[in-house]
Amino acid sequence: MRLWRLWSSWRARRAEAAKRVAVTTISATMVQPATPPPPTQPCNPTPGPTAGEEDKKTSEQLLKPPKLLEEDEVIERGGWSNQFEFFLSCVAYAVGIGNVWRFPYLAYKNGGAAFVIPYGIMLLCGGLPLFFMELALGQYVSLGPNKLFQEIAPIFAGVGWAMIMISALTAIHFNIILAWTFFYTFASFNAPLPWHGCNHDFNTPSCYPEDEASLCMMNNQSLFYYNKTCVDIDEYCATANFEGFNETYCIDPNDTSIIHPASEVHHRIIAAEDYFMQRMMRYEGKTWEDMGSMNWELAGCLFIAWAIVAASLIKGVQSSGKVVYFTATFPFLVLIILLVRGLTLEGAYKGIEFYMLKPNMTRLQEVDVWREAATQIFYSLSASFGGLITLASYNKFKNNCMRDAIVVSFINCGTSFFAGFAVFGILGFLANEMGVEVEDVVQSGAGLAFIAYPSAVIRMPVPTFWAIIFFFMLVTLGLGSQFAYVETLTTSIFDQWEGTRKYKGLVVVGICFAMFLCGLSMCLEGGFYMFELFFTWSAGLSVLFVALMEIFCVIYVF
């Protein structure tokens, strides 16, 4: 068995220490006066251990893990104040923003309730075993991924460093999403909400508010809303280089056979999308060649996000373990509130029916459904990022990590399923208000969080309150994952260069500040291009490759 590789160095140090003790004992004996011989043993002495018992005792001592042999190193490295903090940190790491803005869309897209079948199978066959394996490895060796794989098999040391690089790239762009949520959280304190209507200075001519546009149509069937006012059919068609054909159609003056409905000659943008792209991102007209100037408001929100991460990790897991009591539990409270509120809105049943109540079992015959189920469970559990190994490395050696793996995995998947009811209840309400089908308002990713939901909020009573709690929930969801990403980086430095542990606070602040500087490129007016580049490639195929190498290393090499 290859366990010798893991604790040979500890055994060597203990052997050297035993030699020193033996030399000291011999020296002390030489100077001591002679002692009388021991008394004669009785005729029936107590029998000593047999040879088999001696071999068993020796085997047990050899199999004693290195963690128990070096308790002084464990104290120096630090650990969780209690196991509940580790459990909450794992929950906060696994349950992230993707549970709210990605899983509900995938479930709707891939057959509704039928998607639960491949999702559950992938959890049991792939996600849960890998999750448990990483917790067990980190807990056994008490090292970050960079040192762990070097101890298991030096030739696979690059696997650990690849995990660290993936976590670093992910942390850079992930905190940009947190900066967006902070921006929206602060904006939510305004009344009315700033993404309501198209009468702001930042709105483009294509901004289309449904309520104001409907007023134009009510007054005159041939009036259309464009550039913050109502215009007639001729003027509206002229803005797209067409001419008015009748009250509802435009014609191409160069080719009279080309006739378009007036509603299609312009790409209409709802007010919430216009706010996201023009007010927050300031994206208009930017390219890779011209990224524009710095968006200082967004840069300030990014600084706040990194400052919170640095303050929470200033003492390592001892400080972050206290913060997760809030960041891991508050999102569940908000999701319950949003679900209750969503179910009371008109049209909510229509959205939930669209989400889960009409399963399409024929989709299970398609390979893409199973592929997306495997991808979602893999990224949702955050395996092969190094975070699970890092968090478990601060555990006590005898912690029941199998129990933690099972409970956290099912909490993660249950949260995704539960969040879908809250999200689609609100999307059903939005579709009912806009007079369209649910499929016309369903979006995934940033589109759901920053466009679809804000559009629904402005139609609710007390919209400011619902906006604040939703975006603050996204902040807490993001922070829980971000803590683990950054802790992976700091732990790798402390394990690689042990002398840096004396300057833990400086190392944490230095890493956060360096990554803040890296993220500033995404705060430019054209920074969305850089964000998409990081988002697409920082944790894509690289994570799958690292996972395969990790499994191969542990199963076939170790």
Q: Which residues are annotated as a binding site for Na(+)?
A: 94-95, 99, 380, 412, 477, 481
Buried b (16+ CB within 10 A) or exposed e, 535-556: beebbeebbeebbebbeebbee
Report residue 494: phi and psi, to 5°.
Answer: -65, -35
* Tally of CB atoms within 10 A around 263: 14
Q: 251: which strand partners?
A: 243, 259
Strands across the sheet with 249-252, in order?
243-244, 249-252, 255-261
* Rounded distance between C-alpha atoms, residue 72 and residue 75, angstroms: 5
Q: Which residues are annotated as a binding site?
A: 94-95, 99, 380, 412, 477, 481
* Rounded distance between C-alpha atoms, residue 203 and residue 279, angstroms: 8
* Rounded distance between C-alpha atoms, residue 110 and residue 374, angstroms: 13
Task: Give the three-class secondary structure for 230.
Answer: strand
* Rounded distance between C-alpha atoms, residue 360 and residue 107, angstroms: 11
* Rounded distance between C-alpha atoms, residue 281 and residue 299, angstroms: 11
Tokens 């090499």, located at residue: 557
- The residues, ordered by sequence, that sit 6+ positions from 133 with a Cβ below 8 Å of its Cβ are 551, 554
The token duo for 173 is: 């762009």
The two most distant CA atoms of the chain are separated, in Å, by: 125
* Rounded distance between C-alpha atoms, residue 417 and residue 411, angstroms: 10
